[in-house]
Structure 1
Amino acid sequence: MVVSYPYPFLDLRITINSFRSNIPAYIDTGFDGYLIVPEYLVIELGEPDYVSEWELGDGSIVEAQDYLGTLDIVGLEENIEVRITAIGTEFILGRSIIDRYCVLFDHGERVIIER
């Protein structure tokens, strides 16, 4: 079991090619993908594995760079292969990861994750 503060973030360890980092990611139950990382990281990440199109909330379409990598939820130590998209300015964790676990959003104060 992992208990995460501050709410609603979760500490992750990500690896993309030779890039490794521990990050706090915002848990977004409305995002059905894996993980979004800030676009400024493409300088460190290098050439993408894919380029994808995303429709934003305002209806506009943008291109994003996608990378194949791995992530671990710190405290669970389970290496998960993921598709990571560089777009925007935030680290956002989506349903393709959190749906693998029992996730409790505890009264807006903490997040509890169990296998």
Structure 2
Amino acid sequence: MSDDIRSAAEELLYKYGAIADAKDIPAALKFFQNATVSFPQRTVAGSEQLTELYSELWGKPNSHRHIITNVRVTKVVLGYSATALYTRWEFTPAPLLTTMGEYEMAFSRHESHWAVDSLVVTRSWPVG
């Protein structure tokens, strides 16, 4: 596995975390423009479904931060797969751990850049 591919996977995962922390729906739409996104309760694709999903997920006024670790990358038939662990902290105003889980991301080269083809979010430990 080349360092460039591993770096691409890390950059995509960390960029998603930054978009989520900013609660930036337009950036999420651009980031996932050709991807499917799966959470435990549903799978979505396209701007309308993505907007609905992220409006619900990011609707609370409290800010939050994702910590993404343990990135592993493997070659698959149509590109690469990366898995990572994440924790999500919400500020209420004190930090409160709200979710621990895993990301499984398929990604590939799209013309001159790397892009996400799918993201599966697993919540191993959600609060409430």
Report the TM-score, using the length of structure 1 for normalisation: 0.28
